[in-house]
Chain A
């Protein structure tokens, strides 16, 4: 029998993945060029959630922009709130009461835990294991309860203020936080027993999409994605801000535990280990929080001196850098928000070359991107 080659076309095929696709974690569109099951090129197309936050920022006052920062990274709204507050305080040289800084660190680290929980849970769900996702949501719910107790909101908190925080911790909040930490810390071992070292899971992640350290630096990756490649750089340690220098914690890096340093498994494991370090930070902060006011005296309509400032803070998805230009008026003259996910998306095309289609899902999950932060 002769084989009819015209019936088996072998040309490359272009496939559209997203913008509505469960594993793209939002409205991300990836244009895949495939040769059979192998992806020869994956071009990300972002911008579906662009709301022009930077333009809006030029029309509102510094204080009024706070609720918009909730909508940057909605899984880590506290971190974005605080990043904005710290950036404006750096520009306007405002001193913040120490108790407020402690509260900010507590909420930032709690939010880092809940954000990494979603990263962990949705990643395992993407890889075909749905149960861990429910476990992660269960724990995250308790963090949401804590935040609800603190500021009344469960997703978009609007808790930080320029000069402090919107309110002191209500009675019982710190005790409840301690209870949560005692409950949560053993759960991390449970996750590791449940899924982290599961053979199928490890096979899906190890040696996939390896990002060598030099490449991670050259592309400007930050946060867990950079540390997953074995670069021990954490802004909380290396360019300390707020009261972070007072706490003892270690910077988690990828070691190539199950494969090559910088693979998907390393990035996953960095997040699991970071939750443990966040627990340590919150424990210390709760134990040592001083008494005092939680808000500095800042006029509602304040005018920072003309100048420019760039503030970097360590958010769960990498560095959130806020570049602020003031012309001495009540509105920012220009603000630019650089986010970890935006930068991670830039390396996407490079690391996905030659992978299988199913691995694309593994890469998106391991970079832990969130779309509103990319599109702003």
Chain B
């Protein structure tokens, strides 16, 4: 299915929770959804027989400076099509529902986004730092991250 058709299907089903389609310059195109609706939209994307996005290829946090985003790259082995889904989050309270019960493979990706961006995935079964030590301060992939001088007395 083409990106526009997928967007229209989602728009018809979820109305205002589906905000826009980022098509020009984006490969694959992104359907922008409201953060609160991420779980419902994900479940629909996976379970609707016409869409059946059964694989979450990648989940990335992004810092667009004025706001954060979580980008989901989805692929369907059954239908052989791909789409992106994106949710923009305010910088102050970056949180949205987890999708690890829709795609169990999401857990590690969400932990990474939590670790490096401080994005909170509500309802996650296991949300801990994954790449950095547990007592690390700050989230390095944020654009305003300040590099620490010392870690446990060791010069960084």
Q: Which residues on A are within 8 Å of B, measured CB to CB?
A: 46-47, 50, 52, 54-55, 90, 217-221, 231, 233, 238, 305-310, 312, 319, 321, 323, 325, 334, 336, 338, 342-343, 345-347, 350, 375-376
Contacts and interface: CB of A to CB of B under 8 A. Distances in A.
Interface string B104-139: 110111000000100000000000011111000000
B84 interface: yes
A220 B25 CA distance: 26
Nearest to A43: B126
B94 interface: no
B55 interface: yes
Using C-beta atoms within 8 Å of the partner chain, give the interface range for chain B: 20 to 34
B93 interface: no
A218 B140 CA distance: 30
A138 B71 CA distance: 44
Contacts of B19: none
Contact of A54 (B22, B26, B130, B141): B141
Given A350-B104, A375-B131, 5 more contacts: A55-B141, A217-B54, A231-B77, A321-B58, A338-B60
Nearest to B111: A346
Contacts of A334: 60, 62-63, 141
Q: Which 6 A-B pairs have the closest CB atoms?
A: A307-B25, A220-B105, A47-B131, A336-B60, A338-B58, A346-B108
Interface in B43-59: 54-58
Given A218-B105, A342-B108, A310 B62 contact: no
B73 A310 contact: yes
B132 A346 contact: no
B100 to A, nearest CB: 10
Contacts of B152: none
B146 interface: no
A225 B69 CA distance: 30
A305 B25 contact: yes
Interface string B7-42: 000000000000000100111101000000000000
B130 A46 contact: yes
B80 interface: yes
B107 A346 contact: yes
Contacts of A375: 131
